[in-house]
Amino acid sequence: MKKILLFRHSKSLPTEQGKTDKDRVLARDGIRDAETMGEYFKLNSLIPQHVVCSSAFRAKQTLQVCLEKMSLAVETDFDERIYHDGVDGILDIVRELDNRLHLVMIVGHSPDMESVTEYFFGRAFPFGKFSTSGVALLEFNVDQWKDVRENTGELMLFKTPGMINRKE
């Protein structure tokens, strides 16, 4: 059994003059939401064995805040493909994962988190949009990551900070 937590970065500020989109930082609300998600992961034993994170600063910052709230140090790769190659890059990353890993987190962007969820789940994303700081847990009845393909995943949960705060 393999599981993926697809985690969209938290709310960020607009691009500052003279900076690139990749340099955007989290808004105050985004920091709070990343903390909420870290608490949620910890309380619900959603502890990844490995993280693959976008190289964008807002994704790195989301992950850092989240892991600090979890009091967790986890092996992390920062992969340009999540930022530059979108869905195809994420699919390649998943297929390259070490088969000893069973629960992996991927930190990325919209619309790719939603598109990857739909690809693996085989249906339209049932929650409208994949909000900032949202997480989808997908489960696959396979032994090797290379066998994770289209329509092979079960969407086990989707949560956002708002849902958690309302106790949904």
Q: Which residues touch 55 (CB under 8 Å, ≥6 apart)?
A: 22, 78, 79, 80, 82, 83
Lowest mean pLDDT among 40-49, 75-84, 98-107, 159-168: 159-168
Beta strands 135-140 and 2-8 are antiparallel
151 in a structural domain = yes
18 in a structural domain = no
Average pLDDT, integer, range 105-109: 97
Q: Read off the pLDDT band of 13 (50, 70, 90).
A: confident
Predicted local confidence at residue 1, as pLDDT:
96
52 in a structural domain = yes
35 in a structural domain = yes
Predicted local confidence at residue 56, as pLDDT:
96
pLDDT in tens, 29-40: 999 999 999 999
**CATH number, domain containing residue 119:** 3.40.50.1240
Q: Is residue 52 scored above 90 in pLDDT?
A: yes
For 111, the 3-state DSSP assignment is coil
Average pLDDT over the chain reads 94
Beta strands 135-140 and 103-108 are unpaired
Q: Read off the pLDDT band of 62 (50, 70, 90).
A: very high
154 in a structural domain = yes
Please count the structural domains in the chain: 1
14 in a structural domain = no
13 in a structural domain = no
Q: Read off the pLDDT band of 17 (50, 70, 90).
A: confident
The range of the structural domain enclosing residue 68 comes to: 2-8+23-165
16 in a structural domain = no
Predicted local confidence at residue 55, as pLDDT:
95
Average pLDDT, integer, range 144-158: 96
